[in-house]
């Protein structure tokens, strides 16, 4: 089976220019993502992970280099990209069902077939009993499941997931990791996921891009071995190789202590 390159980042750098001066956020970032891959950007706070997602989504442009999605340079936000953030951004005055239909409305896709897909997504997320509830009546984990359903409702080929679980308690997080991976695998979606959590990165990913900070550079790109890649994230954490791999990633992230000793991992 031939692979299809969905994302290509070519020697991308990004400087933010503000009144205080220039912040070099990213330097010489190059990587590709193939169709169906789940790739994680792992690195300390401030290393430019969210900036990479903003570049991939077309919300901002690189200072130098180029970003291509399916071979075409990204110069504006693309419809085939779904973005999910740490905060769920659900609208408090709309019901769960209406929130999930929001993306369809923006894209003028409110036809019966899509509406049915949206409802079946809510069903897959275990939310069919809550269609007429308001976001304020749901727990954090349920709200993120609604946000995931909303992101998937427009049927994006590419998902950008920016620390979507970081505000959740640990057990909710573990359950959502499995739900996300299971759903994306079944639908053969491509995803770029952001986290600063090594365990989460290993449990979920096909590949991990480890970044250094200020400016963010690629320190290493790691292929996750099949023994850790194939099971669902919860089961991956139970495999003996998981601990070994964790130690390895930890070591890679903390090489050159002098560079990283002042960096916080929160
Ligand atoms: P991460 O997501 O890894 O925490 P970010 O991509 O948010 O990192 O930020 C990378 C660097 O760029 C940080 O130093 C941050 O302060 C800076 N930065 C991010 N967004 C902006 C912006 N809109 N204007 C100026 N500086 C920014
Ligand atoms: Mg961020």
Confidence of residue 3 (pLDDT cuts 50, 70, 90): confident
pLDDT, position 266: 35
Q: Is 45 in the pocket of ligand 1 (CB under 6 A)?
A: yes
Task: State the pTM of this model.
Answer: 0.91
pLDDT, position 168: 86
Pocket test for ligand 1, best of 22, 51, 266 (most atoms within 8 A of CB): 51
Q: Which of the pair, 265 or 156, is modelled with greater confidence? A: 156
Residue 9 parent element (H or E): strand 5-18
Query: Residue whose CA is closest, atom 17 of ligand 1?
Result: 25
44 CA: nearest ligand 1 atom: 3
Q: Is 62 in the pocket of ligand 1 (CB under 6 A)?
A: no
Residues 139, 41: Cα–Cα separation, whole Å: 27
51 CA: nearest ligand 1 atom: 6
Contact predicate 102/94, CB 8 Å: yes
Ligand positioned closest to the Cα atom of 266: 1
- Asked if pLDDT for residue 74 goes beyond 80, the answer is yes
> Computed from CA positions of residues 26, 30, 36, 38, in that sequence, does the dihedral angle turn out positive or negative?
negative
Percent of the chain beyond pLDDT 90? 69
pLDDT, position 1: 54
41 CA: nearest ligand 1 atom: 3
What is the whole-number distance in angstroms between the Cα of residue 162 and the centre of ligand 2? 7
The pair of three-digit structure tokens given for residue 245, joined into one six-digit string? 């791999």
Q: Could you tell me the CA-to-CA distances from 260 to 40, 46, 227 in Å, in that order?
A: 20, 12, 30
Pocket test for ligand 1, best of 13, 17, 25, 264 (most atoms within 8 A of CB): 25
The pair of three-digit structure tokens given for residue 156, joined into one six-digit string? 């994006």
Query: Residue whose CA is closest, atom 27 of ligand 1?
Result: 16
Q: Is 205 in the pocket of ligand 1 (CB under 6 A)?
A: no
- Asked if pLDDT for residue 54 goes beyond 90, the answer is yes
118 φψ region: left (φ > 0), alpha (ψ -120 to 50), beta (else)? alpha
- Asked if pLDDT for residue 257 goes beyond 80, the answer is no
């Amino acid at each position: 089976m031939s692979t299809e390159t969905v994302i290509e980042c070519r020697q991308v750098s990004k400087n933010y220019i503000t009144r205080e001066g220039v912040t070099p956020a990213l330097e010489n970032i190059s990587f590709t993502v193939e169709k169906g891959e789940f790739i994680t950007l792992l690195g300390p706070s401030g290393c430019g992970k969210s900036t990479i997602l903003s570049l991939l989504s077309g919300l901002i442009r690189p200072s130098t280099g180029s970003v291509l999605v399916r071979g075409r340079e990204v110069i504006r936000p693309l419809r085939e990209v779904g973005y999910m953030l740490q905060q769920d951004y659900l609208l408090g005055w709309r019901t769960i069902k209406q929130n999930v239909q929001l993306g369809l409305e923006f894209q003028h896709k409110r036809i019966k077939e899509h509406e049915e897909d949206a409802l079946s997504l809510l069903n897959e997320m275990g939310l069919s009993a809550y269609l007429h509830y308001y976001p304020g009546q749901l727990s954090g984990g349920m709200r993120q499941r609604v946000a995931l359903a909303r992101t998937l409702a427009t049927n994006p080929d590419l998902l950008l997931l920016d620390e979507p679980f970081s505000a959740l308690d640990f057990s909710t997080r573990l359950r959502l990791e499995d739900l996300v991976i299971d759903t994306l695998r079944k639908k053969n979606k491509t995803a770029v996921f952001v986290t600063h959590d090594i365990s989460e990165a290993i449990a979920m990913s096909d590949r991990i891009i480890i970044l250094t900070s200020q400016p963010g550079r690629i320190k290493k790109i790691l292929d996750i071995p099949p023994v850790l890649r194939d099971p669902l994230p919860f089961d991956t954490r139970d495999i003996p190789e998981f601990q070994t791999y964790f130690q390895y990633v930890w070591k890679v992230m903390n090489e050159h202590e002098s560079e990283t000793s002042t960096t916080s991992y929160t």
